[in-house]
Structures are given as C-alpha cells and as structure tokens.
Structure 1
Amino acid sequence: MLEATPLTEGWTLRHDGRALPAAVPGCVHTDLLAAGVIPDPFLGRNETEVAWVGRREWTYESDLAAASGHEQTDLVFEGLDTAAEILLDGRLLGRVRNMHRSYRFDVTGVSGRLAVRFASAYTEAEAVRQRLGDRPNAYAEPFPYLRKMACSFGWDWGPTLVTAGIWRPVRLEHWSTARIARVRPLVTVEGGPGRVELAVDVERTRVEADLTLEARIGDVRARAEIDGTSGTVRLEVPDPDLWWPRGYGRQPLYDVELTLGHNGSALDVWRRRIGFRSVELDRSADEHGTGFTLAVNGTRLFARGVNWIPDDVFPSRITRERYRERLTQAADAGVDLVRVWGGGIYESEDFYEACDELGLLVWQDFPFACAAYPEEQPLRGEVEAEARENVVRLMPHPSLVLWNGNNENLWGFRDWGWEERLAGDSWGEGYYLGVLPRVVAELDPTRPYTAGSPWSGSWDHHPNAPAHGTHHSWEVWNREDYAEYRGYVPRFVAEFGWQAPPAYATLRRALPGEELAPHSPGMLHHQKAADGNGKLQRGLARHFAVPQEGFSARDFDRWHYLTQVNQARAIAAGIEHWRSHWPVCAGTIVWQLNDCWPVTSWAAVDGDGRPKPLYHELRRLYADRLLTLQAGDGGGLVLAAVNQAGEDWAAVLRLRRMSVDGTVVAETDRALSAAARTVARLGVPPELEPVGPKEFLVADAWGSPTSGGEAESGGGLRALHFPVPDREVPYPRPEFDVTVAPGAVTVTARTLVRDLLLQADRLAPEARADTGLVTLLPGERVTMGVRGWKASGDSAAEAARSALYCVEPTR
C-alpha cells in the first residue's frame, strides 16, 4: 500500500550565511518575519523596507532519508513558488517555474541533503520578457512572464511583496507495483439516476502485473480492469439527493472511494466527496442581446456573487479554519456565488470543500489578469500543464460551476491600446480561445467554459458590451456618480465596486501611532488605487458636505464613517436596480469580498476580517426578498418586489410620503404579491411621490408568504427614496436614546435618524456588531447584538453612544 511521509520538520532557510528555521509550507517573508530579520510588512510603511526580499535568491534545505521497503520512492511538492532548482547532495533533480503546479521526483534508494534553490521571481520573469519581448500590462511589474500569483507583484488593493518558498505541502511517497496517478470523476445526473465515471491513470513499476479498480459510493460498487496504464470504472446511484446552491435546497455530499489492487491486495486508494447536480449556462440570444444565465438542476438563478482574491498576500498562512470563516461570512451575507479572480491562485482543497458544504457556487478563473501574456515557450507548455492538473484536481467539487479563461484581457486588447502596441505579437488569445477551452472540453465536459470576464461571447460584439454576456462596470467608480448604475441593465455584472477604508480598529493596528487623516502618510501607503482618495473625495462630495483639507480627529471620524456609508449606498444602487430587472440581468458579482492585508479597498470584509457596513448591507441586498424604489421607464416611481425565494410572496404594502420632521404627508395600503423566482413591479401613485428636499418616501411590506417561508426580521421589509442628495436634505439634528444590556445595544429614535451605525470595534478591537446601517423613523427602535464587549450600566451607554454614527445636518 502506498505510504506518504510529510516533510514538515527540519527545514532551514539560508540567509547571509546563516541557517534560519523555516516553516514548510511557508515562504521566505514569513520565515524572515518569524526570525525577526524583517518588520511586519503590513504595518505602517514597512512594505517598502522589505522590497529587497523579492530581489534575492533563497535556498531551503533539509536532510532527506528516502530508503523504504517499497520499489519506488517519490519526492512530491504540491507547490513551489516559483522558479527553482531541486538538488539532492548537489545532484540536480529538476528545475521548475510554475507556482500553480505540483512536482514529483524519483528519489528511490537515495538519502542526503535536499536543497530547493529559488531564483528571484523578478530575475526569472525579466529574463523571459527580454527573450520574448515586452507586452502591455496594467501595472509596471513583470508578472505576465512567470506562472506565479500575479498580485504578489502588487495590485490596486495589494502590496508588492514578491514571495518565494515551498508554499504547499511536501512529502515522500513510497509505493510498489503501481500507484494512482490521476482520477477524473465525471459526475452527471440524467433523469433519475446519478452516474459517476472514474477515468483512472496509473504509474507502474511492473508492466506485467494485473491491476484492478474497485469503486464504491455507499452500497453501490463497481469493478474494472486496468488496460496498460489506464482504466475506467462506472457507478450508478439510483435517485440521488441533488446538491443545490444555498437558498435553493440542501447540499448532500457522497463519499467516493477508489482502490487500485493487485492479486487481492490494495496498492493505492483515492477518496473524494462529490455531489450530484447539473449545471448549464444559457448564452442564447434574445430581444435584449446575449444572455448569461446559470441554471443548476434546471433552475435558472440570479447569481448573488462576490469576487474573491487571495485572503493573504502570503497564501501559505491561510488555514482551513480561515477559509471556513471567510466563506461562512459570505454565505451569511446571502451570497450564493464566489468568483475566484484570475490574478490570484487556484485555491486549496479547503476552500472548495467549504464551498461544497456551504452551498456556494464557484466561478473559477484561470490565473490570467490585466495583461498581455506571451504564448511562446517556456510559458505555453506551463499554461497547458497547469490547466490540465487543476481542472482534474477541482473536478470532484459540485460547487465548481464555471471555468473562465481570464480577467479583463480580451477587453484590454480591444480598449486599452494593446492591439496597436502588440503589432501582431501573441498576447493570450490563443490560451483563452484555444488551449483552455480545449483542455476543459477534453477533461471536464460537464461544466461550461467562458473565454473571459468581461466577454460578449464573440468578437462580433465589444468584449464589455453590457447587452452581451458578462460586463465589468468601472466607469462609475472611476469617473461617475453611483446613480449612473441605474442607467442601464447589463446581462450579467461580473465586477463593480466602490471603495471605503477598513474598520477603525484595523487602521489603528496597521498604522500604530499615526495621527489619522485621509492623506496621512500611512493612509496613503495603504491606498493602492490610482487617485483612490481623490475618487473617494469626489464620490463623497456629490452626496455630502465634507472637509477638503485640514482634518481634525472628529473630521476624520466623520470622513471614515461617510466613506463607508457611500460604499454601501453605491453597491445598493447597483444591486437594487439590476435585481429588479431579473431575468434580463442574471447576476451581480461585487468587487470584492475580502482583502489580503489592511488597506482602503472595495472589500466588504477588511484585511483583519472585520465586516464593513457594506457587508451588512449585502445581507439586505442579497436576501431572498428585496424591496426597492426605482425610476419607472415612463417617469414616476416604481416599487419592485424581488422574490427569489421558492415560495410565492404575499404581503401588505404601506407607502408613506413623509417629511424629515416625521410628519406623514400621505399614505396608502395595498396588497403585494410576487410569485416565486419573479419580480413584481407596482407603480407609485403620483400623490405619494415626495416633493422637494424635505420629503421622502417609505415603503414597508409585512406579512407571511402564501406557503412556508421565513418571517422577515423586524416584521417586514423596507425601501426608502430620497429625491435629492443628502447634502440638500434639511435633516433635523438626530436625537435618540441608548440603552445597553449584556450583548446588546438598543437605540430609540426621537427624530429621523439616517443611516445609524454602531462601530463596535471602537468599543473594543475584538467587538463585532450584528447590524449595519439602519434608518429609524421617529419612535422606532433597533436592538443591535454585540459580541466581544462586556460593559454594562450608565458608562456603557455613554461608551456605546460615542461609537454610534449617523448622517448629520449639513453644517
């Protein structure tokens, strides 16, 4: 039977003639940090102090004893970052140049000193660039010339920390006669039964040995012979429980076990969990353009998505528990789809297993982003090899529903001046429209493939055409007010976002001792977007009266709060509008869920794992049922009742035209009905539309669905419409009462209180509130759960009041 021996102990890292203790898996930066050689690059401006690390060569060493009672011993690296030589007692075992692949070397009967000598990623990439010629790139870094996590070289939300190291596990495998080299599980559901076809490749030491395959799922068993080095075994499960995305059903998973045998003895075993489900991507043309709608088990769905970047710039630090925490945050926010973005990595099994269990659909980019990628050797062979390995590795996961060729490169070729600069040089099109779809079609025909995001489906339409395929909406953040989201209806919005700084406690940890201001040195260093603070300021000025310079501590606190409000409002403007146009628009994927370090960015959860107000707003925006007030096509206001639940929705709707002083100017009640998976649109009577800056409209719906379903929290759903920007609204000075009980803060409004927010981390760095922005009418109250803060009594009420923020009258 194959035996595996992890190689995690006894590693050293050579540094200036010294041997430092090294963690494997790990990377150079984390080892140097643990040894006290470098400061924490996440704090202050230390990032610049450690830039030298990415320009150096590094060597990891350990003693290797490969002797065993088996016929063969292999040294297996699951991941090496990135360009390295592997030597055993000075003898070269091999050279590698791809972070996204695993490697295997025959070390049978050999012992000695193992060395993994890493070249600088800069040196390797720049040598390839010199050989193949320069290509256009969104950043002045050479990441397209090396198969490495692109955002190691910095991004508009990430630091430039170019890593090296043994970033995934390494082990010895001892085996005899034969081992399982690859298993491709093709899982299909046709009518009643679920079928699993396991296509198996083996490696042999004895060609003449008769090999068998035995597979089982529960009580279902099957057997087949190995013909040479390959074989296929098929299982049929009668009437399996189907795997569904969260919100649509359960996520049953089935254990599959495959045993490679010889003369009645087991030589090797392969185990995975699978789920039975079908997935289709409808890209058919219609009167609106070209669709892009996912269907799981025949049910078409509006994808409620978030973009995922590596959760740490040093991916070896991301544990199984951390993946689970972050993805649970996504699921708890109503997310049902996570897009693994193409400037990062193929994530570990822990990521996809968590998605399987949580019912999160996975859209997987191949790792290409924002640059022209050469198609010549040595890159072309590496691209195909990594694609083949990772397609097969990830195939068992039912959560994986879409392969995507790249991020923004087809768009870049057409719109960013690449075509002229390239003058006929290769740039990646052969990967996205050739190599990758061919690999997916050959190895994983059960899943759809799309050439890129954005992508209209063919060169007949602009790559980022809103009416065709996937669309990235970045004009709004870069140049326009977020109200412009409401001006069009893309078929699928795969990227859009708005920035905000991280939580206050995160800033305090990352910028110790700094007097915080939007343009203070540390704040600017932790803002990587071009003119990011300028865009934040211009975005605020369209809605709020804010200081332009000379920030006091109070001014910074207001700026910090208002930028977070603006982020939540911006995303709400897009999602509410686009969801109200289902099924023409079939999904939104917010940029982005998470951060890889403490930074001002588009994330809903900051680099320390603290939710921003946007996170809580997503819980409302991505709930099964949503009320929103929108401009009608023919003028006037329309109330859209979005019902993505599987049950019809019947409710009582109350519309109130109100003054900011709390007076009800006019109101009416009416019945609201929305069938399952539909949007009901109701015109607002003209006499209820607010007039002038002092008035606004409140829409409340309460009541139970016609059959089953959950009761809405607080007794109902609410939508608000203010006809003018906040800076023009004559808000009253907010008045409210605060009481504190263990684990809860209750606020009772005596006036209109707009976008009340409890910043719990100002009470204690570890404190978390379960509620984000909430608007209270006079006499209304809200109770916000707080964990990680134990204070009580009068002093606690005053402390809580100091951590409460809301929109104030324009000064």
Structure 2
Amino acid sequence: MSTSPIAKRTVLDRDWQFSQVSSQHWLDVKESWNPCKVPTSVHSELKKLGKIPDPYKDLNEWEVQWIQEGDWVFKTSFDIDEFQLKQDNVDLLFDGLDTYCTIVLNGRTIATTENMFLSHRVSIKGVAQAKDNELELRFASPWHEARLAEEKNGGPKPLWNGASNRLYSRKAQYGWGWDWGPIIMTVGPWKDIHLETYPARIGDVRIDTTLTGSQYNVASLNAAIVIASSTSNAYKLDVTLKDAAGHVVKSVSGHSPLDAMKWDFKDGEIDGWYPRGYGEQPLYTLEIQLKDKDGALVDQSVKRVAFRSAKLVQEPLHDQEGTSFVFEINGIRVFCGGSNWIPADNFLTEIEPGRYKKWVELLVRGNQNMLRVWGGGVYEADELYDACDEYGILVWQDFMFGCGLYPSYPQLNDSIKSEAEQAVIRLRDHPSVVIFAGNNEDYALAESIGVMDYNDNSGNYMNSKFPARHIYEVLLPEVVDRLSTVFYHRSSPYGGKTSADQTVGDIHQWNVWHGTQEPWNNWDNLAGRFVSEFGMQGYPDLRTVNEWSDDKSQLFPQSRVSVNHNKADGFERRLELYLMENFRHAFDMPSYVYYTQIMQAECLGAAYRLWRRNFKGRGKEYTSGALVWQINDCWPCVSWAIADYYLRPKPAFFSIARELLPYTVGIARKDIKKLKDKTTSAFSEIHQEMQLWGCNSTLVEKDVLVVLETYNLSTDKRDKQSFNVKLSANASTEIWAGQVPGQPIRTTDAQVPEPIVVQARLYDPTKPDIVLARYSNWPEPWKYLTFPEPNLKVKVNGDKVELSSEKPIKGVVLDVEGEDAEWSDQALDLFPGDTQVVHAKGLNRRAVSTRYIGDGSA
C-alpha cells in the first residue's frame, strides 16, 4: 500500500520574472525583465529593486500612482514528471490573482480573471507538456479595467471614499484610498500558484457541528465530503476525529463519499468551544483519507473542528422599545467588546508569517472577544481566523462591499456569487465565525441620498434606484443559507426604521468625530443595541511618526508629510475641536502625540464604560456590543486605530482593556440645574450628581467591596465610604447614586464647582489587598483644572514599575529611550494611597520616563 498520496500538489514559486509591457495606455514600453518571488505585487518588487521609493515615506505615495495604470506580465517555466502528466487530471490552481489577468500556457489562453477574491482551478490536460511549460500571467491595469467597466455598465455612482470606478471592480476597495489609507492599487499574483495532478481528490468538505442539551454538553458532527472524480463510488473514505492530544475520539473506515456522515456524541464526550472569558476553546482534528478500491492512498485532508452553537438573539426587551441584538454562544449571552479590522498592510504579500497571530494576541491582551472583518478589505488569511479559533475571538465577517451604491448586472453578479460561495465554504467551519454581513454602510449611503425604499419588499431590485439590494437581499442570503449555518445580516449597520435606529439591529455611531460631533460624555445617549463602529483619532507612537520621513524638519503636526499621513477629511479641525474643548496643549510633536493619544484613550474608554453598563441581564441587553473603529493600520499614519502599523498599542488600547476586565467599576457625574420655580431664570440650584455601578462578565454572582474616595484638588480634603455589593452574573449592577461627596450645592453659574476627583476601587472581600478594578472620575473639562504637584514616585524593580503619588494624577504614560517596551498598562490615573504596578517586558535596565496632564511639559 502506498504511504504517500497519489494526488500531488507542487507550489510554483521558482524562476519567476516580471516586466511592464506595452498596452493601449502605455505605448512603446521598454520591457525590463527582473526576477521576482511569487506571491507578490508589482509595487513590492519595484521597491526591492530600488526602482521606486518607499510609498509609505514622505509624499512618495504620489510617486507610484503610475503603476496601477500600466500593464504587467509575470512569467515562469516548469516541468511535469511523466507520472504526474499521465494522471487523469492535471490542473493549475491559482489561489488569488490581483485582479484582471489573462493566463497563457504554452502560447494558449487557458483562462481570464477579473475578481481578486476568487481562486481558479484550470485544467491543463492536453496543453501541458513534460518539459519547459511556459506560463504567463498578463495583468491589465486595474484602474483602466475598472474605468471601462464603469463606462459600459451605467457610469459613476455615489460613494464615500475612493474613486467611483472601484464599485465596478471586485478588487480590495481600500486600495482606491480611504480616510485612513493611501491610494495604492496593487497588481500581481497575490496568493500561491499550484500544479495539481490526481486521479481523484478530496474537494469540498463541509463540517457542521452543534452543541445542545440543557448544559450544552451533547454534541453532533455532520460532514459532507465531495470527491472530485467521475467515478466517486470507486473510492472510500477513512475518517478519524482526534482531540488536541492526538487521542482518537471516533473513526470510521470504508465510508462511501456518496453518503453524508453523521456522528452523535454522548453527554460529556466532546468539550464545547466558548468565546474567551466564558470557557475554553478545545479544537479537534478531522483527518480524512481517500483510498481507491485497492486501498491505496489517493488524497488526504486535515480539518480543524470545534463544537459550539451560535445564534443572534433579536427579541423584545423589558422597559425599552425595540429588540435586542445579542450573540448567544452555547446558551450564554455575550457582551461583545472588540474591534474592527482593516487589512494589516497595503502590500498583503509582505505580511510575514506570524503577524496575524500577533494581532490576535494583542486583542487577547486587551481583553477583547470579537473582531469585525470590515467589508472594504479582503477575506482574510487563514492565519487570522485560525488564531481567532485558538484564542476564542468571535469573528463578524463582512462581504467585500463598502460605502457605495454598487451596481448589479448579470456578469458582475455571477462573479459575486462565485466569490461568496468560495468565501462561505472557506470560513464556515471556523467556530469563531458567527455572522456574515452583506456590506459595510451601503444602506446608510442609500438612505443619505434618498434611494432606499423600505416599503419595497418585492425582491425585484436590479432595476431600482438601489440595485445592489439584489446582492444583499437575494444573492448573498441564498449562498449563506445553502452553504452554512452561519447567521446572515443584510448590512452593517442595519435594522429598524433606518440604519441609524438605536433600538433595532446594529449601528455605526459616528456622531462623535463625524456627524453632529457630540462631546464624548454623551456616549450614554448615543448607545445602540450593538455598536459595531465608533471611534476617535489619535497619533501613533512617536517612533512610528519618525518612520514616515527621514527629513526631521517635516516631523511637526502641520507639515505636508504629517498631513499626508492622515487621510481623514477635516481631521485638523476635528482633532482641535476635541482637544481644545478638553485640554490645554502644545503643538510640538511629542506634546501633540501625547494629547491626541490621551484624548483618544479617554473618549473610547468612556464609550465602553457607559455601554457595558447597558448590558443588564437577560431581557435587558440594551447594548450588547461595542466594536471600536479600529484595532490596526495598513501603513504608518494617524488614524482611529488603537494600535499602529507596527503593532505598537496606543494608550487607548489600555483604557479599553481596563473597561473589558471581568470585573469593572464605573462612575458618571453630571450637573443638574433646577430653577427655583417657573417664574424665574435667575434663581436656581445646581446639583452635581453621580452614579456608581459595577460590571461582572463571569457566569457567577460576585460579592465585592467597593471603596469610594474623593480628593479636593484645591483643599486636599478627602472623604471615603464603602459598599458591600453583590454583582449580578454576566450583567451590570447599579450600586449607588447621589450628590458628589463634598460638592456644595451652587446657586449661580458664577460659582465654580469644587475640583473633586472621585475614585472607586473594587475588591474581593476575601483578598482585600488585591484591587479587581478601579476608575478615577475627574471633573471635566480638564482645561479648567489647576493640577497640583503630585510628587510622583516611580520605583523600578526588574520588569516591574511601581507608581505612587501624594496627590491625584491624570493620564500617566510611561516610556523609555530606544525601542519601546511591552507595557501591561498605560494612560493611568493615580490616587494617593493606591499604588499601581505596571509590568514591562524589555526594560533592560533602562530608565522609565513619565508624562501626565499638567506636568509642565505642555
């Protein structure tokens, strides 16, 4: 019996060359053939050859725009041994071609492509030869091909971000430029190319698992295994399920591929997969061997399997209108605190192995449990989804449509259907993937221009003013329902009377920064049932700023280079709006980095704190998720990201992490003005009121001691009180409400309120030396405060940094000279008597510097 499969796959990654070639757009191009790797892109290869400058530096983005308007050819040659050539099937498999490509083998056109997201299997039986097969990939200009498709199929249509021809191209939309990314339209073979030969092979493998029962401890597995052969009944399958330790859980031999396979497991025989924080993430391996009638191994497949049940609950709520929008995994309703994801680079082929996993590990460090893969990028690399499976990060997956009124016509829809089928088949077996959404903000755009008619439920939309409804309401749901058990959602945002309805579905809350530009202390009024986008900009680490130019004279906030590295319209006005409303700040680059980062940290921390409070238990899930825009960047820039291109977390990353701990404590305060009676506007009382609450994301109630302390910055007067509280399981709990201790009632707006800092600390009564959570609430805006000298003490012992102060301090950020250390916390508020410890990997005996609000450096 053969010990290696007869089916053989060979990666064609050697002896490639590329060159620009003449076309109708570029006449008389002098061909220049240079060796290259594959997968790759033209930009990457030209940069390595020194023929273009680094597009991420200075203004160089604009020096490389010509690349997307040229035609390019990649070519190689390869041999096929006689045994392979004699197989019934000889295929070339192209995992991804970016984007418009004519494939030529030995002078014969064997396929054409126009969708970056599709893989292509092409039979070359009868075309291939044993020696010197010449393979050419002729890539046409993506810019011009998209322009021609636009002209042919209806002309320009409304959109946000980029150029209108992108709507006619099944190419990653962010490459046309976005409000956080450059215009870089890549060209080339962006995924692997294989030669495959076989008499039969394992094709599509669909695995559906469920976890049921009162304790969700009864499991089942259904597998449908398709064999690519005209005589599939001549083959048999051996299938084995193993646990993480390699122990066989169940197996079957000689199974017919014509029959679906169903396995039921006894109570407790299989362990369920849970989101992080709610249980473990056991992963199993399903090994499949395809054998011929003589028992020879023909092909084999290894699939990772996990057992869980997931659904999205949308049901009426107690005491509020609308319905919930809450993910329920194995019967547990989960508050989803997480992030949005954009592509990690403009040059996807330069993302080194392990980088996706590092991003997911960063999510874990930040106590996050959901990642939304945004619809203007790509269906991401397997490494990202695999890491989410391993770490228990739920995945919200958009289809690749974003911010546009997309056309809908037969040729395009056929391509989209194939794209959707391939995406669903590839992603459906990941336990982390719990929702497919049709697009990003396309219904919101349609509403904004008056073409969305919610009264039209005819199903006949291709000739309407919003033709892409056919894609989102007919085509995509059919594919998802046919090929998976994953929930389908028409759009993000979507639900209710409009996509901005705060009582139904999900919303994108951009009335902080965009829209009405609300102050962030209004986040409580801006809540939705699930907030799948919101954000605030902040500069990246100063080290990252230094990367975008070698000309140090350009490293100030208002330079041409700095401005080019922030793509958001009106960003200077909006940054300054929020800075000036809240801080006194300077304009040198270190100060600007610090204050925009602290602003971002305070803003986003407040959103998670106030919205998690709305997760009040079963039937009262008034807000069930908050996904910040965004976790990452695709180049070194200023954006809404909470970690920059180099995976350097901003202070906001840590403020969010604190609000997503298993136990948290929160405070809100507001001035309440009460007129003496209805006959006067001059005589009133102004009360400063506060509310105190706690959150518990564990599945058991928790007895806690809450200590509430106040400190008057002007008089040094202190007050203290405590509460014994039982925090409800998997919910928030209201603790106390009343006047801010020590704050007198004012009778006129001319009376300045006392500058009282309020700190709440949460303890486990059985471990009184350990602070489970803390939060310091400072009077806002901070620009009115006179910060006292705090006498900050920094004690370093190895990788442990101990911080203490004699008076309250706001916004402490730690740093070192040289390469950054890995900090366990940042953007800290200190309170006298409450020593905080930060762990830092990689200090290497370096001195730790500090910066905080009011330290005199602004």
Q: State the one-letter code of the partner of 1:437.
A: P
Q: Which of 818, 821, 824 is the matching residue for 1:770?
A: 824
Residues 188 and 670 of structure 1: CA distance in aligned 2, closer, same or farther (over 3 Å): closer
Cα offset, 1:328, TM superposition: 0.2
Which residues of structure 1 form unaligned runs of 5+? none
Cα contact 1:500–1:567 (8 A) shared by 2: yes
Partner of 1:123: 144
Q: Which residues of 2 match residues 725-740 of structure 1 at below 5 A?
A: 725-740=781-796
The yes-or-no answer on 1:491 pairing with 2:502 is no
Residues 705 and 304 of structure 1: CA distance in aligned 2, closer, same or farther (over 3 Å): farther
Q: State the one-letter code of the partner of 1:269.
A: Q
**Secondary structure, aligned partner of 2:354:** helix
Q: Which of 359, 364, 367 is the matching residue for 2:392?
A: 359
Q: Which of 43, 51, 54 is the matching residue for 2:57?
A: 43
Residues 419 and 713 of structure 1: CA distance in aligned 2, closer, same or farther (over 3 Å): farther
Q: Which of 851, 854, 857 is the matching residue for 1:804?
A: 851
* Equivalent-residue separation in structure 2 for 1:294 and 1:633 (angstroms): 36
Cα contact 1:748–1:780 (8 A) shared by 2: yes
Which residues of structure 2 form unaligned runs of 5+? 1-5, 21-29, 242-247, 454-461, 616-620, 673-686, 745-751
**Secondary structure, aligned partner of 1:331:** helix
Q: State the one-letter code of the partner of 1:73.
A: V
Q: State the one-letter code of the partner of 1:273.
A: R
The yes-or-no answer on 1:452 pairing with 2:491 is yes
Q: Which of 628, 631, 641 is the matching residue for 2:694?
A: 641
Q: Which residues of 2 match residues 207-226 of structure 1 at below 5 A?
A: 207=231, 210-217=234-241, 218-222=248-252
Q: State the one-letter code of the partner of 1:200.
A: I
Cα contact 2:162–2:177 (8 A) shared by 1: no
* Per-residue Cα deviation, 1:630-678 (whole angstroms, up to 9, x for no partner): 2589983211101112232222222223211572343212212202112
Q: Which residues of 2 match residues 142-291 of structure 1 at below 5 A?
A: 142-176=165-199, 178-191=200-213, 192-204=217-229, 206-207=230-231, 210-217=234-241, 218-222=248-252, 231-238=259-266, 239-263=269-293, 264-286=295-317, 287-291=320-324
* Equivalent-residue separation in structure 2 for 1:351 and 1:276 (angstroms): 19
* Equivalent-residue separation in structure 1 for 2:500 and 2:525 (angstroms): 16
* Equivalent-residue separation in structure 1 for 2:360 and 2:81 (angstroms): 42
Partner of 1:8: 13
**Secondary structure, aligned partner of 1:703:** strand
Cα contact 1:755–1:807 (8 A) shared by 2: no
Cα contact 2:223–2:260 (8 A) shared by 1: yes
Q: State the one-letter code of the partner of 2:501.
A: A
Deviates more, 1:134-143 or 1:618-627: 134-143
Partner of 2:614: 581
Q: Which residues of 2 match residues 423-442 of structure 1 at below 5 A?
A: 424-442=464-482
* Equivalent-residue separation in structure 2 for 1:393 and 1:633 (angstroms): 54
Residues 687 and 497 of structure 1: CA distance in aligned 2, closer, same or farther (over 3 Å): closer
Cα offset, 1:745, TM superposition: 4.0
Cα contact 2:99–2:115 (8 A) shared by 1: yes
Cα contact 1:309–1:341 (8 A) shared by 2: yes
Cα offset, 1:500, TM superposition: 0.5
* Equivalent-residue separation in structure 2 for 1:209 and 1:467 (angstroms): 54
* Equivalent-residue separation in structure 2 for 1:208 and 1:561 (angstroms): 65
Residues 300 and 442 of structure 1: CA distance in aligned 2, closer, same or farther (over 3 Å): same
Cα offset, 1:731, TM superposition: 1.4
Cα offset, 1:188, TM superposition: 1.8
Cα contact 2:175–2:186 (8 A) shared by 1: yes
Q: Which of 320, 329, 337 is the matching residue for 2:362?
A: 329
What's the C-alpha RMSD, in Å, of the aligned pairs?
2.4
Partner of 2:676: none
Cα offset, 1:23, TM superposition: 1.5
* Equivalent-residue separation in structure 2 for 1:203 and 1:712 (angstroms): 64
Cα contact 1:309–1:594 (8 A) shared by 2: yes
Residues 513 and 783 of structure 1: CA distance in aligned 2, closer, same or farther (over 3 Å): farther
Partner of 2:805: 749
* Equivalent-residue separation in structure 2 for 1:208 and 1:278 (angstroms): 32
Q: Which of 85, 96, 105 is the matching residue for 2:113?
A: 96
The yes-or-no answer on 1:371 pairing with 2:404 is yes
Q: Which of 647, 667, 670 is the matching residue for 2:723?
A: 670
Q: State the one-letter code of the partner of 2:704.
A: A
* Equivalent-residue separation in structure 2 for 1:556 and 1:187 (angstroms): 53
Cα contact 1:626–1:641 (8 A) shared by 2: yes
* Equivalent-residue separation in structure 1 for 2:252 and 2:736 (angstroms): 60
Cα contact 2:763–2:770 (8 A) shared by 1: no
Partner of 1:476: 512
Cα offset, 1:225, TM superposition: 5.9
* Equivalent-residue separation in structure 1 for 2:232 and 2:367 (angstroms): 56
Cα offset, 1:734, TM superposition: 4.3
Q: State the one-letter code of the partner of 1:511.
A: S
* Equivalent-residue separation in structure 2 for 1:687 and 1:778 (angstroms): 19
Cα offset, 1:742, TM superposition: 3.5
Cα contact 1:372–1:409 (8 A) shared by 2: yes
Cα contact 1:770–1:784 (8 A) shared by 2: yes
The yes-or-no answer on 1:505 pairing with 2:526 is no
The yes-or-no answer on 1:700 pairing with 2:747 is no
* Per-residue Cα deviation, 1:489-545 (whole angstroms, up to 9, x for no partner): 311100000001110000112222233222111110100000112211111011012
Cα offset, 1:423, TM superposition: 9.0
Cα contact 1:222–1:233 (8 A) shared by 2: no
* Per-residue Cα deviation, 1:55-84 (whole angstroms, up to 9, x for no partner): 111111010223441222111111111110
Partner of 1:465: 501
**Secondary structure, aligned partner of 1:506:** helix
* Equivalent-residue separation in structure 1 for 2:605 and 2:495 (angstroms): 25
Cα contact 1:564–1:612 (8 A) shared by 2: yes
Cα contact 1:252–1:275 (8 A) shared by 2: yes
Q: State the one-letter code of the partner of 1:682.
A: I
Cα offset, 1:85, TM superposition: 0.4
Cα contact 1:154–1:160 (8 A) shared by 2: yes
**Secondary structure, aligned partner of 1:477:** coil
Cα offset, 1:246, TM superposition: 0.4
* Equivalent-residue separation in structure 2 for 1:383 and 1:95 (angstroms): 16
Q: State the one-letter code of the partner of 1:294.
A: F
Residues 581 and 6 of structure 1: CA distance in aligned 2, closer, same or farther (over 3 Å): same
Deviates more, 1:585-594 or 1:739-748: 739-748
Residues 135 and 712 of structure 1: CA distance in aligned 2, closer, same or farther (over 3 Å): farther
Q: State the one-letter code of the partner of 1:695.
A: P
Cα offset, 1:359, TM superposition: 0.6
Q: State the one-letter code of the partner of 2:445.
A: G
Cα offset, 1:475, TM superposition: 1.4
Partner of 2:35: 21
Q: Percent identity?
A: 30
Residues 570 and 387 of structure 1: CA distance in aligned 2, closer, same or farther (over 3 Å): same
**Secondary structure, aligned partner of 1:18:** coil
Deviates more, 1:777-786 or 1:627-636: 627-636
Cα contact 1:67–1:108 (8 A) shared by 2: no
Cα offset, 1:211, TM superposition: 2.4
* Equivalent-residue separation in structure 1 for 2:253 and 2:437 (angstroms): 35
* Equivalent-residue separation in structure 2 for 1:712 and 1:151 (angstroms): 51
